[in-house]
A and B are shown apart, each in its own frame.
Chain A
Amino acid sequence: MWLGFPLLVMVACLLLWPLGVIAVRSLTFGTGHLSLRRYADVLTDGDYLRSFLITSLLAVLSTVIAIALCVPAALYLERTRDRLSRLMAAAMTIPLSLPGIVIGFFVILLFGTTGVVPVTARQVFGNSFGQLAYTFTGLLIGYLYFNIPRVILVVRGAVAEVSPEAIDAARTLGANPMHVYRRVIIPALLPSIASAAALSLATAFGAFGTAATLSRGYRVVPLDISAAFTEQFKPELAATLSVLLAIVTTAILVGVGRLGERRTR
């Protein structure tokens, strides 16, 4: 049992104790009395509610698009299984190794003021368009980029369980492709789609690097935490927002994951 001791010490000193400190700091006021007032303040503040709304929209939209793209893609990779599709699968995992800031830079490189799309558009069409790096769309593209490999990774393993016979039979009976996806493939993959969604949503809610690189206007919660701590020098406010964000991400991972498990019973 002593083998687990180093891990226990690490978790206690670097995780549990600091999380406890954040929780206490978020609840403590000057003379040491405890109150939920900061939580009430944050949850009634228009700016912070807007941040939570924008973060939720980015997380949900990027997750939905990633699932719509990656479920068919995973099915294809699993059913072809040749050298090429193995290479394609490896290519799709590349974004996993890139930190959020690099993903944010990719969006700037493509859609920034002097990005590839605007510069090329000016040369070809005479006027530049596509400068959307610092808009909601730009953020969404960045979030989609890091969610694609996450969804692929989770769904790919489960696709093997969808019986090719069921798909072929449905096709033979005249079901159109949309129907096959809706009635055969998606129901069979529901548990793994749920856990992919949980992973993708939680990652998006916690994403800091991508948002920091693209943050000229749209605020997401991790940026608010950073601003509260480094710009406004309000560690207690940063602590309150951190607790709320950690509750959201943990609840998504546990809750959405469970949802998938229950549906299969």
Chain B
Amino acid sequence: MTTPDAMTTPDAMTTPVAMTTPVAPPRKDPVVLIGKICAWLAVLICLLPIPLVIAVATTRSWRQGFWAGGFTLHWLSEGWGRIAGNFGYSLQVAVGVLLIDLAIGFPAAWLLARRRFRGRRLASAITTMPIAIPGIALALGLILTYPGLRPSGMLLVAGHVLYTTPFLIGTLTPALGNPKLRELEQVAVTLGSPGPHRLLTVTVPSIRTALLAATILVLTLSLGEFNVSFFLFTPIEQPLPVELYSGYVTNRLEIAAASTVWFLIMVVPAAVVLELAGGAKVGQA
């Protein structure tokens, strides 16, 4: 007996079970209860590591247990000392990447949102590229093709641009395609507003949430990018995640945790803002 069929047969509704048992309120329904348990379990898994990282980073001698030897900010200051330079460099890279992404991605998103053309589906398939092709394969392709660009750091920027532009396009395209915005622009046209002026005073303000989301997305993706960066960084200046990685392999747990705390401070609040501003996007692991 399949349940949906049984629902539609009238005699099923007249069985004593259906008559005497009232419909359970959703919260006490075991189906929802299982969901509740799973949801809390998932939340626990996702959040638990964060307080633990903070606890280890503020414990004087972790091997003896939680806050053994007392609470200390020593590791946090030492961790910051180790990553400050890398953070500065990564931030520079991220801002450069964002500017290039906007120059490439904004016009492309405009086109995808507003024009029908042959190859449009192929063009929008670009937004799934960063998941379809592993970062390490992208990086290998870049380093084998342009080995001469690596020492200048240009190749690292190129790799980040390649990885992040699809996310920018994916965030801006729906906003630019919004019918209400198109109407507003038509009104501006009939009022005689010239093209560039219209772009700056009508279009850009209307999509500011999407622009903010795209900005946060590109900056945080670039700051945390490891898979593409691993082959492309220069020996002189290492991006933040590469430094974190070598810390994980060599440093004692307290320092590694402290550096991670700083990284989480930079990225997690931004991620929460992003989720509230219109939903998170999926990158590589």
A81 vs B75: C-alpha distance in the bound complex, in angstroms?
41
B:1-47 near A, CB below 8 Å: 2-4, 6-7, 12, 17-18, 21, 23-24, 26-27, 29-43, 45-47
B275 touches A93 (CB 8 A): yes
B271 touches A96 (CB 8 A): yes
CB distance from A213 to the nearest CB of B (A): 5
Given A90-B276, A106-B53, A235-B144, A114 contacting B253 (CB threshold 8 A): yes
B-contact 0/1 string along A135-147, CB 8 Å cutoff? 0000000011110
B53 touches A93 (CB 8 A): no
- Name the residue among B3, B105, B136, B158 with the largest chain A CB count within 10 angstroms: B136
Interface bracket on A: 35 or more
> Taking CB as reference atom, which chain B residue is nearest A179?
B3
- Name the residue among B40, B257, B271 with the largest chain A CB count within 10 angstroms: B271
A158 interface hit (Cβ, 8 Å): no
B-contact 0/1 string along A143-158, CB 8 Å cutoff? 1111011101100000
A242 touches B49 (CB 8 A): no
A92 touches B140 (CB 8 A): no
One of A29-37, A38-46, A169-177 at the interface = A169-177
A50 vs B231: C-alpha distance in the bound complex, in angstroms?
24
- Name the residue among B24, B37, B285 with the largest chain A CB count within 10 angstroms: B285
Given A96-B282, A97-B267, A242 contacting B52 (CB threshold 8 A): no
CB distance from B211 to the nearest CB of A (A): 17
A76 vs B169: C-alpha distance in the bound complex, in angstroms?
32
A206 touches B284 (CB 8 A): yes
Q: Which of A72, A85, A95, A242 contacts B136 (CB 8 A)?
A: A242
CB distance from A111 to the nearest CB of B (A): 11
A172 vs B224: C-alpha distance in the bound complex, in angstroms?
49
If over half of A's interface residues share one DSSP class (helix, strand or loop), that class is named, otherwise mixed; here it is helix
A-contact 0/1 string along B81-98, CB 8 Å cutoff? 000000000000000000
A100 touches B62 (CB 8 A): no
CB distance from B260 to the nearest CB of A (A): 6
With A92-B42, A98-B224, A171-B24 known, 9 other A-B pairs at CB within 8 A are: A7-B126, A15-B138, A73-B42, A88-B39, A90-B272, A92-B43, A212-B226, A245-B134, A253-B132
7 contacts between A and B (CB under 8 A): A4-B111, A15-B129, A100-B284, A173-B6, A199-B131, A209-B226, A225-B137
User: B residues engaging A (CB < 8 A)?
Assistant: 2-4, 6-7, 12, 17-18, 21, 23-24, 26-27, 29-43, 45-47, 49-50, 52-53, 55-56, 62-66, 103-105, 107-108, 110-111, 115, 117, 123, 126, 128-129, 131-138, 140-146, 158-159, 161-162, 165, 169, 220, 224-227, 230-231, 241, 244-245, 248-249, 253, 256-257, 260, 263-264, 267-268, 270-272, 274-276, 279-285
Smallest CB-CB A-B distances: 6 pairs: A18-B141, A76-B35, A206-B134, A97-B271, A3-B107, A73-B39
